[in-house]
Amino acid sequence: MILYACALGLCLTAALVALLPARAVTVAAEVITALAGVVAAVAGARATLGHGWSAWLPDLLPLGGLRLALDPLGGLFTAITGAVTVCAAIHGIGSGAARATRAVIPLFVAALLLVPAADSVSTFLFGWELMAMTSLLLVAAEHRDRPSVGKAALWYAVMTHLGLVTIMCGLCYLAAGATGDGFDQLRAAELSPAARDVIFLATLAGFAAKAGIVPLHVWLPRAYPAAPGHVSPLMSGAMVNMGVYGVVRVGLDLLRGGPVWWWWIVLALGALSALYGVLHAAMATDLKRLLGYSSTENMGLVLIGVGAAGFFAADGAGPLAALALTAALLHVVNHAAFKTLLFQAAGSVQRATGTRDLDALGGLRTRMPYTTALFAVGALCASALPPGNGFVSEWLLLQSLIHALPASGVAGAVTMPLAVGAIALTAGLAVATFVKAFGVGFLARPRSPAAERAAESPRTAICGTALAAAACLLLALDPALVLPALTAAVTRVIPVGRPVTGEVTLRLSAITGSISPVLIALALAGAVAAVLSLVRAVATRRVRRPARLWDCGAGPVSARMEYTATSFAEPLQRVFVDALQPESAIDVTVVKESAYLVQRVRFRARVPDRVERLLYEPVLAAAVRLGSQARRLADGSVHRYLSYGFYALTGVLIVLAVIS
């Protein structure tokens, strides 16, 4: 309790200090924010190890007061938030952000810490709204400098508050059937099956919107590029996790599980989001937009695990449910680590070059060597290739689905192979996505003057990014370090034994399967060393002669001849053309003297978001038409305005008379 209170106090102190104009005070605010992250991480880790606590402050909030409690599940998400905050705060030192932005960031961190510690409906909604408002202010921070930021902030504001409305309706309906709004009282509530269904679906919609799950993902690829460079890691590494936390807390804890069809929906949404997100990430040329769609992909993988856990729990397969939820929570931890690393590296690239367009980058390996190496680590982890940390959690997830096939009945025999196929296809596309991002963005020659002038990031930015990379490597080589915390969080909602054991080697309890990340890493390192030694031995036997690369007789190779991000993704675009439906246009400009002489040919291509086009654009068009028609109601007549009030009051009285 004391550590958690200290973390919140440090966040408030940092917000106040950031408002002061002195340069040294600015650095102090960012250091205090990093210290708050350290304290929060320790407090969350202690809660996962059994040192939980609860508190009630009746005078801080109206009605029910402020109820806080940190159990192992909430402690896990608190620890993740604290760790991400440390990296982001160190990376942001000296970033030159506006004073208001620097003051809002610690408040955003405080809101992120408040959500998993909430122990009542009113406290949870207060923390959720504070998180929504502070993140909205950060997304809109640079609206004066970039016109696109205002539109992105509007999308984010609408989506996040619609999600809040559905969560509020669901939780208030749940509290209405209980003796109070405390979580212990909600767990003891006796509700009809129909009421439970409505509550779960309403809250699932709100939490899915926060996690960036399809079809509620449209804010995410807009908000991440719009947010300042050191804010995006907090949003992707910590904030989207709260959507997963909400699904687990409400679905598996407060509602104590539910029918199988609940978790079919969760699993289907997860699979759809994983595939849809990685496809659009593979097509994206904006580096931060690519990482945004990658977050949709990874949150989809997490929801596959959560949905499988609920499915197995409803079917009575406790060990499999615990294994699936362990894999999902481990992927939450791993995603927070490598996505923090990738967004910080992307922020460094944007600050050095002034662009996020992969087609305009290249050649950063020689100009930004540390950032290039750190991004390579993050790309390896995000690709789910060994020895990256993403490989371990996806392997665990696949094990839980594969071992369910013999005993999961007809429903599982149909669902689980499809989920396995979705995960496998997602992993393959993720490799192509990050090979494109790293190869096109950092290797070869620079394709623009901005990339040629790029310089390495400041030491503090490199240190913050290196800290996230160290966490990725530690989780990759010894993921058993977080197993005690994961086991405590899983047993909080699924009371079974330890599903995964081991230190250097991960073993599945009561299920055949084991993996040794350290041995895999050593084997890969040995294989690479052997190949390099063989190449070196063969090369030294011959006399080296410098020669120009074969250029097919076209002259020296220039940057215009390199693969761009668009051309790299074009083969994949052809394969998935029916799903993506890309658009292209060719503009031909002829000379004035003759229409037969071409002066310039311009080719444009884009891959639109089909969900946005099919679902959101018709709704927005209908809203515009309705708004245009509604203007007739405001014609300036006072008598008409008074009649509106009279009719509204009469209607309310009639409704009250009927239902009373």
Over residues 274-289, the mean pLDDT reads 93
Over residues 572-591, the mean pLDDT reads 86
Of the given ranges (50-59, 170-179, 380-389, 417-426), which has the lowest mean pLDDT?
50-59
Domain residue ranges in the chain: 260-525+561-578, 610-659
Cβ(451)–Cβ(361) under 8 Å? Answer: yes
Over residues 609-636, the mean pLDDT reads 86
pLDDT band for 405, please (50, 70, 90 cuts).
low
Q: Which amino acid is at 105?
A: I
Over residues 257-263, the mean pLDDT reads 91
Phi first, then psi: give them for residue 206, nearest 5 degrees. Answer: -70, -45
What's CA 431's distance to the chain center, in Å? 18
Residue whose structure tokens are 């269904």: 197
CA angle 298, 283, 554 (to 5 degrees): 140
Model pLDDT, residue 542:
66
| pLDDT tens per residue, range 408-455 | 666 777 788 889 999 999 999 999 999 999 999 998 889 888 888 888
**Separation of alpha carbons 509 and 514, rounded Å:** 10
Q: Which residues contact 628 (CB under 8 A, 6 or more apart)?
A: none
Cβ(166)–Cβ(205) under 8 Å? Answer: yes
Tokens linked to 417? 């192979």
Q: Say what percent of the chain tops pLDDT 90.
A: 51
**Separation of alpha carbons 441 and 353, rounded Å:** 11
Q: Higher confidence at residue 280 or residue 58?
A: 280
Over residues 145-163, the mean pLDDT reads 89
Residue whose structure tokens are 């750190």: 374
- Bridge-partner residues for 588, per DSSP? 601
Look at residue 600 and tell me whether its pLDDT is greater than 80: yes
DSSP code at position 542:
S
Look at residue 123 and tell me whether its pLDDT is greater than 90: yes
Look at residue 188 and tell me whether its pLDDT is greater than 70: yes
Cβ(118)–Cβ(246) under 8 Å? Answer: no
The mean pLDDT of the chain is 88
Model pLDDT, residue 24:
66
Look at residue 252 and tell me whether its pLDDT is greater than 80: yes
pLDDT band for 407, please (50, 70, 90 cuts).
low
Tokens linked to 504? 């250097």
Model pLDDT, residue 330:
94
CA angle 17, 23, 27 (to 5 degrees): 60
Model pLDDT, residue 596:
79
Cβ(110)–Cβ(8) under 8 Å? Answer: yes
Over residues 539-566, the mean pLDDT reads 74
- Alpha-helix runs per DSSP H in 494-550: 517-539
Strands (E), 506-632: 506-508, 514-515, 583-590, 598-606
Over residues 295-310, the mean pLDDT reads 95
**Separation of alpha carbons 227 and 277, rounded Å:** 20
Its sign, for the CA torsion 246, 252, 257, 259, is positive
Look at residue 577 and tell me whether its pLDDT is greater than 90: no
Neighbours of 22 (CB within 10 A): 9
**Separation of alpha carbons 536 and 549, rounded Å:** 20
Over residues 282-311, the mean pLDDT reads 94
**Separation of alpha carbons 660 and 655, rounded Å:** 8
Tokens linked to 631? 């203007």
Pair type for strands 66-70 and 53-57:
antiparallel
Cβ(286)–Cβ(225) under 8 Å? Answer: yes
Look at residue 646 and tell me whether its pLDDT is greater than 70: yes
| pLDDT tens per residue, range 510-548 | 676 777 888 888 888 888 889 888 888 776 666 677 777
Look at residue 560 and tell me whether its pLDDT is greater than 90: no
Q: Which amino acid is at 428?
A: G
Model pLDDT, residue 601:
84
**Separation of alpha carbons 149 and 156, rounded Å:** 10
Model pLDDT, residue 541:
65
**Separation of alpha carbons 146 and 140, rounded Å:** 10
Model pLDDT, residue 501:
77
Model pLDDT, residue 42:
95
CA angle 108, 241, 427 (to 5 degrees): 135
pLDDT band for 318, please (50, 70, 90 cuts).
confident
Model pLDDT, residue 61:
77
Q: Higher confidence at residue 566 or residue 553?
A: 566
Cis preceding linkage at 458, omega within 30: no
Of the given ranges (11-15, 30-34, 51-55, 558-562), which has the lowest mean pLDDT?
558-562
Q: Higher confidence at residue 290 or residue 534?
A: 290
pLDDT band for 29, please (50, 70, 90 cuts).
confident
What's the CA dihedral at 445, 447, 452, 456 to 10 degrees? -80
**Separation of alpha carbons 332 and 244, rounded Å:** 9
SS3 520: helix
Over residues 271-296, the mean pLDDT reads 94
pLDDT band for 23, please (50, 70, 90 cuts).
low
**Separation of alpha carbons 577 and 563, rounded Å:** 20
pLDDT band for 248, please (50, 70, 90 cuts).
very high
pLDDT band for 275, please (50, 70, 90 cuts).
very high
Over residues 381-393, the mean pLDDT reads 90
| pLDDT tens per residue, range 334-372 | 999 999 999 999 999 999 998 999 988 988 999 999 999
Cis preceding linkage at 495, omega within 30: no
Look at residue 554 and tell me whether its pLDDT is greater than 80: no
Which of 131, 139, 188 shows the shortest CA–CA distance to 161?
131
pLDDT band for 634, please (50, 70, 90 cuts).
confident
